[in-house]
A and B are shown apart, each in its own frame.
Chain A
Amino acid sequence: MTSSRPMDVPIIRLGDVLVTGLINELDDKAATAFAEELTERIAAERAKGVLIDISRLEIIDSFVARTLTELSTMARLLGARVIVAGMRPPVAITLAELGLQLTGVETALNAEQGMAALGWHHAPRPPEGGTRSEALG
């Protein structure tokens, strides 16, 4: 069953956090495969957090929204916290207008802030009042 999975999305482990991202639109099969692999990895690697970067997604329909909500619920059941990071403004507007609030899904502005929210302070925080480029660099 697991061998049939056509995963084109890598799942990277950084400490106790799993980092992954959605690149293309998900279809039914890919979404199931993705959920399956993610849950297995969470269980196997005892991850405490999952970061899903969606900054490449230009369209999120009700199906993807539901998938994200479900992933978040599954992960919570396995003891991991899911953060969805980097939603684009037009996507957020569309979801809000459709009334899809991704209830129960935590969001972060970008991957960096999402990792910070998962307690992953790799680099020291930029000095107070640091410029934008410093903060990004």
Chain B
Amino acid sequence: MNASDAAVRDRLTRALRERGDEIADRWVQLQRERAAIDIGESELREEADSLILLLGGALNNNEQSMASVVGTHGDLRDAVMELSLRRERSGADPTATSLAILALKDAVLEAVERDNSDPRELFPAALMINRLLDEAAALSFSAYVERREEIIQRQSRQLLEMSTPVVHLWRQILAVPLIGTLDTARTQVVMENLLQSIQTHEARVAIIDITGVPTVDTAVAQHLMQTVNAVRLMGADCFISGVRPSIAQTIAQLGIDLSTILTRATLADALAAAVEMTGQESPTTAGAPTNR
């Protein structure tokens, strides 16, 4: 860091310390003018005060490298993340949050200008403020994205857990209604659940219903084949039901060979065939599958 950098830093620190109230007031005002933010004035003011204090502290600390002040100064980083979180909770979009942080530039610059209006000194100060607060805005944005990412991952986990129930449909007959796309991870979950249920229920037939699967491509077909083969290895038979006309066309056009797999158009057909296969009375004449 050269001498002029240090001088600029000094000037900024002083401005932040001495004119902190002014800056905070101005910032709050600018935020309310520029961005539609649904946060009370007193709360905004409090937030501004603490952030300005932290900025001053970070700049004052000579150990702090200038390269990435916001990213490396722990407290400052936390404060920006928190600010981003608070805005998100109050319903502000990430652009509004970034703009709000960028508005602080104007407030600080105005304060510096009041002390010294020499453009030669003002320019490096403006540069430094820019560098500092651009980083803060970027951090608030990436914090937002990170939180979204977390939500997406959590939801896809939940979806995975919820979307693969194994239904004990009839004596010795299990059904798995598949809903949504069948990828490798889901195939694994479906297979595990299904095979485990086959063992516990001593099922002899498993029906995989693909009515809720939007498209069948070679990968999905491959996964289905794998599941069917695993079921067979367990000593049970496997039907695939719910093959819609469009899916049948796709399968034929793609040249996927499902000839070794028993398929039926509807779950009802598959159930009837399965009941027949297990040598039980037909469901239309027999009672409910509950224990009598």
Chain A interface residues (CB < 8 Å from chain B): 83-93, 95-97, 101-102, 107-110, 113-114, 128-132, 135
- Minimum CB–CB distance for A130 against chain B, Å: 8
Contacts of B191 in A (CB 8 A): 93, 96
Q: B227: CB under 8 A from chain A?
A: yes
Does B171 contact A109, Cβ atoms closer than 8 Å? no
**Does B173 make an interface contact (CB < 8 A)?**
no
The residue from A89, A101, A130 contacting B199, defined by CB atoms under 8 A apart: A89
**Between A and B, how many residue pairs show CB distances below 8 Å?**
76
What residue in chain B is nearest A97 (Cβ atoms)? B226
Enumerate chain A residues within 8 angstroms of B233, measured Cβ to Cβ.
87, 91-92, 95-96, 101-102, 107
Is there contact, CB below 8 Å, between A135 and B235?
Answer: no
Rounded to whole Å, the gap between the CB of B64 and the closest CB of chain A is 53
Q: How far is the CB of B278 from chain A (nearest CB, A)?
A: 11
A109 x B236 contact (CB < 8 A): yes
Residues of B within 8 A of A (CB): 171, 188, 191-192, 195-196, 198-199, 201-204, 226-227, 229-236, 280-281, 286-287, 289-292
Q: How far is the CA of A84 from the CA of B229 in the complex (A)?
A: 14
Closest CB-CB distance, A116 to chain B, in whole Å? 10
Given contacts A96-B191, A109-B204, 20 further A-B contacts (CB under 8 A): A83-B235, A88-B199, A89-B199, A89-B230, A92-B230, A92-B231, A93-B191, A95-B230, A96-B227, A96-B229, A101-B232, A101-B233, A102-B233, A107-B235, A109-B235, A113-B235, A129-B171, A129-B290, A130-B291, A132-B201
CA distance A85 to B290 in the complex (A): 27
Query: Are B235 and A89 interface neighbours, CB within 8 A?
Result: no
Contact A135:B192 (CB < 8 A) given known A87-B233, A96-B229, A108-B235: no
Q: Are A132 and B202 in contact (CB under 8 A)?
A: yes
Cβ contacts under 8 Å, A91 to chain B = 233
Q: Which residues of B are found within 8 Å of A97, using beta-carbon distances?
A: 226
B101 to chain A, nearest CB (A): 50
**Do the beta carbons of A135 and B202 come within 8 Å of each other?**
yes
B200 to chain A: closest residue by CB? A132
A109 to B202, CA, bound (A): 7
Report the nearest B residue to A110, measured CB to CB: B202
User: Which chain A residues lie closer than 8 Å to B195 at the CB level?
Assistant: 89, 92-93
Contacts of B203 in A (CB 8 A): 109
CA distance A87 to B196 in the complex (A): 11
Chain B residue with minimal CB distance to A102? B233
